[in-house]
Amino acid sequence: MRPTVGENRETSNVDVTLVLTHDCNLGCSYCYTGAKFSKRMTPETAAKAVELAFSGGARETQLSFFGGEPLLAYEQLVRSATEARARASASGVGLKMSVTTNGTLLDAARARELDALGVYVALSIDGTREAHESGRPLMGGGSSFEQVARGLDVLVQRAVPFETISVVTPQNAHLVGETVEFLFAAGVPRVGLNPCYEAAFTDEELAGWERGLERAADVMIDWYRKGRIVSVTVFDNKILAAIKGGLAEGDKCSLGQTSVAVAPSGNLFPCERLVAEDDSPEYLMGHLDDWKPSVEDNCARGPVNAECEPCGERWRCGSFCACSNRAETGRTDLAGGTQCWHERTTARIADRIAETLWEERNEPFIAWFYGRMAGAAPSPGAAEPTQEATMEDAKQPAKEEAHVAPRGRANAIPRAPRAPVTSRKRLVVVT
Ligand code: SF4
Ligand code: SF4
247-290: pLDDT as tens digits: 887 777 767 667 899 999 999 998 999 999 998 888 888 899 87
Tell me, what amino acid is at 316? Answer: R
Residue 398 covered by a domain = no
Q: From the CA of 322, how far away is ligand 2's center (Å)?
A: 14
Question: Is residue 352 very low, low, confident or very high in pLDDT (cuts 50, 70, 90)?
Answer: very high
* Residue of 380 and 252 predicted with greater confidence: 252
Give whole-number Cα distances, 57 to 5, 23, 186, 266, 290, in Å.
9, 33, 41, 21, 19
Q: Total domain count for the chain?
A: 1
Q: From the CA of 317, how far away is ligand 2's center (Å)?
A: 6
Residue 183 covered by a domain = yes
Please write the tens of the pLDDT for every residue from 295-342. 455 678 889 999 999 999 999 999 999 999 999 999 999 999 999 999
Residue 174 covered by a domain = yes
Residue 363 covered by a domain = no
Provide the percentage of residues in the chain whose pLDDT is more than 70: 81
From the number of C-beta atoms within 10 Å of its C-beta (0-12, 13-18, 19+), residue 380 rates as exposed
Please write the tens of the pLDDT for every residue from 64-91. 999 999 999 999 999 999 999 999 999 9
Closest Cα to residue 223, out of 128, 356, 347? 356
Residue 409 covered by a domain = no
**60-74, 118-132, 391-405: segment of lowest average pLDDT:** 391-405
Q: Ligand nearest 427 Cα, by number? A: 2
Residue 414 covered by a domain = no
* 8 Å CB contact between 131 and 179: yes
Residue 230 covered by a domain = yes
Q: Ligand nearest 419 Cα, by number? A: 2
Give whole-number Cα distances, 164 to 263, 300, 359, in Å.
24, 30, 29
Query: Could you list the residue range(s) of the whole structural domain that residue 201 is in?
Result: 13-251
φ, ψ of residue 63 to 5 degrees: the values are -115, 125
Mean pLDDT, the chain, whole residue set: 84
Q: Ligand nearest 102 Cα, by number? A: 1
Residue 27 covered by a domain = yes
Please report, for the domain that includes residue 52, its CATH number: 3.20.20.70
Q: From the CA of 409, how far away is ligand 1's center (Å)?
A: 40
3-state secondary structure of 97: strand
Question: Is residue 181 very low, low, confident or very high in pLDDT (cuts 50, 70, 90)?
Answer: very high
- What is the separation of C-alpha 38 from the centre of its chain, rounded to a whole number of angstroms? 26
Q: From the CA of 353, how far away is ligand 1's center (Å)?
A: 32
